[in-house]
Amino acid sequence: MRRACGAAAEVLRAVAALAQPGRTTAELNDAAGEFIRQRGGKSPFLGYRGYPGQICISINDEVVHGIPGNRKIQYGDIVSLDVGIILDGYVGDNATTVAVGVIKPRTAELLRVTEQSLVAGIAQARVGRRVGDISHAIQATVEAHGFNAVREFVGHGVGKKMHEEPQIPNFGKAGSGPKLKAGMTLAIEPMINAGTHEVEVLRDGWTVVTADGAPSAHFEHTVLVTEGDAEILTWQKKTQ
């Protein structure tokens, strides 16, 4: 899991650097596929229930599961990148949302707060805590700033399969849900909207958008539950 998650983090960072005005989402997808191959892995997304992309690319009011294609990235967009890799039989899964150029102050706050909520959720991923503690920490963080967590899509366990138990909602009651045990590997992924929490799925059957057209942000880490602080398996240190 450490190797798979480390590789997933490397690919995510490399693709994020390519999110520039004028590039198409298909170009980012193709680059991601090559980065994944260079690391000896394959995408867990490609072909999953018929999904056609190596990664998911969602822009502005698209929440998750955006299909790569001919759409060009524009200055002022926010681009959510969800990247996974299968390596030696294990899955690494992570996501980030990047600002392309200067974005509106409220949208910049959305990105900051969503990432803060991920940090708050990870802080609750400890032996003896419950899934609801993670969920509540995320919800409380974003609602304090007037944002809303998506209800229909959730985080999850991850390991030999991309989606394993337990499900990890981004809203909920502290002290509820399954108890966390040492050795669990969890994909914690706040999907946070600037407006209503309600979402819709487009006709392509995949792309999830906010019901009111407001922007949405998505951040994700895979973490290992330990007796102490969770180990962030997809942490990628920045280099100068």
Q: Model-level pTM? A: 0.96
Amino acid 16: pLDDT: 98
Amino acid 240: pLDDT: 37
Residues 6+ apart with CB under 8 A from 217: 78, 80, 97, 110, 111, 114, 115, 190, 191, 192
Q: What is the DSSP string of 110-129?
A: HHHHHHHHHHHHHHT-STT-
Low-confidence spans in the chain with pLDDT less than 50 = 239-240
Does residue 172 form part of some domain?
A: yes
Burial label, 52 (beta-carbon count in 10 A; 0-12, 13-18, 19+): middle
Report residue 137 as tokens.
């920490």
Does residue 17 form part of some domain?
A: yes
Does residue 150 form part of some domain?
A: yes
Burial label, 39 (beta-carbon count in 10 A; 0-12, 13-18, 19+): middle
How many domains in the chain?
1
Q: Is 14 helix (H, G, I), strand (E, B) or coil?
A: helix
> pLDDT tens for residues 120-152?
999 999 999 999 999 999 999 999 999 999 999
Does residue 224 form part of some domain?
A: yes
Does residue 239 form part of some domain?
A: no
Host domain of residue 228: 2-232
Does residue 160 form part of some domain?
A: yes
CATH code: domain of residue 126: 3.90.230.10
Amino acid 237: pLDDT: 61
Do β-strands 155-157 and 164-168 pair in parallel, antiparallel, or remain unpaired? antiparallel
Peptide bond into 166 cis (omega under 30): yes
Amino acid 236: pLDDT: 74
Amino acid 108: pLDDT: 98
Does residue 238 form part of some domain?
A: no
